Amino acid sequence: MTITIYHDPNCATSRDVLALIRNSGEEPETIEYLKAPPSRETLVGLLRRMDIPVRDLLRQEVPSYEEFGLDDAKWADDALIDLMLRHPVLMDRPIVVSPLGVRLCRPSETVLNILPAPQEGAFRKENGAPVIDDQGRRVDRTALD
């Protein structure tokens, strides 16, 4: 079974998603997309498989988002894709491809919906928030808040 993660090792969410994949017993193919951006065909395919609008993949918290004025509706999807390919920092992450689907995994727990194997043990995010309990069950975050 092959799982692929488009990963940024400097992003805590991306690191948590990678750790959750590994906690299910899988070692994914890891693509550091900032160093090796996807091709246009791959990016368009990922967007289609995630069934999200192009704008939903834009990372708004980076300076280039504001510099390019990407909140302006004048930007067509093709132009936004071209910008993401030239400036991959504009792509939100992590994106995970599994046999069960493709997802932009924000929040990190989203990956649990597309992992074929269950979690093998308890898991906490880097910030200490519990995700999986000692019995391998997903922690109900609403009960903690």
d(CA 101, CA 145): 29
> Which pLDDT score, from 0 to 100, does residue 73 have?
93
Cβ(80)–Cβ(55) below 8 Å = yes
> Which pLDDT score, from 0 to 100, does residue 18 have?
98
The domains of the chain, with CATH numbers, are 4-144 (3.40.30.10)
Answer with the residue of higher pLDDT: 90 or 139: 90
d(CA 70, CA 49): 23
| DSSP string of 69-112, one letter each residue | TTTSTT--HHHHHHHHHH-GGGB-S-EEEETTEEEE-SSGGGGG
For the cut 50, the answer to whether the pLDDT of residue 145 exceeds it is no
The mean pLDDT of the chain is 94
Supply the residues annotated as catalytic. 11
- What are the tens digits of pLDDT across the range 29-61? 999 999 999 999 999 999 999 999 999 999 999
As a whole-number percent, the residues of the chain with pLDDT over 90 amount to 91
Number of Cβ within a 10 Å radius of residue 13: 18
